[in-house]
Amino acid sequence: VDINAGKAAVWDVLVDFPRYGEWSNFSRVEGTAQVGNRLPIKMPGCSFRPTVTVVEPGEQLQWSGTLVFEWLFLGRHSFILLANPDGTTHLTNHEEFSGGLTALMQPFMKQGGDNGYTAFNAGLKRQVEDRGPQHNRT
C-alpha cells in the first residue's frame, strides 16, 4: 500500500503499539519494538507472543513466532517501508511460514488473514494521513 507521508511518519504510527486500538480493528499489540522483546498480539480468533527479530527505524520491523519448535512451525512477519520518488511511502506487510506443520496450519492462518492485513494496511494508511502534514515528516 502507498501512504501519502514520509517513512518516518509511517514508522511512528507502525511502532506506536498502545494506540493500535484507535485505528486497527484487526490486531492489538503490547510492548515495544526492540529486538528480543516478546510482543503479546491479539487477532480475531487467536493470540500469540512472537519475538521481535529486526528493528531498523524507518525501514523494517520483523517478528517471528514458533509452535513448540522452529522445525515444527515458524511464522515470520515483516513490515518493510520504501520511499517512493514522490516522497510517499510504500508499505509491504508480509508473512511467511516454514516447518513441518506448515501445510497443515496454512489454511487456519489464511482464514481472515489476507482480509485482516488489507484492513490493517488501510487503517494504518488512514491514521498516518489523518495526522496531517505537521506529523508527516520524511
The band of 87, judged by pLDDT with boundaries at 50, 70 and 90, is: very high
Residue 31 falls within a domain, yes or no? yes
Environment class of 108 (CB within 10 Å of its CB; exposed 0-12, middle 13-18, buried 19+): exposed
Q: Where are the alpha helices (H) located in 21-61, listed in sequence order?
A: none
Q: Which amino acid makes up residue 133?
A: P
Q: Which residues of 64-92 are buried (b: 16+ CB within 10 A; e: fewer)?
A: bbebeeeeebbbbbbbebeeeeeebbebe
User: Domain span at residue 97?
Assistant: 2-130
| C-alpha cell at position 78 | 515483516
Torsion of CA 110, 114, 120, 122, to 10 degrees: -170
pLDDT in tens, 21-55: 899 888 899 999 999 999 988 877 777 888 999 99
Task: Fill in the DSSP letter of residue 5.
Answer: S
Residue 136 falls within a domain, yes or no? no
pLDDT on residue 130: 93
Of 67, 112, 100, 88, nearest to 6 by C-alpha is 88
Number of domains in the chain: 1
**CATH of residue 115:** 3.30.530.20
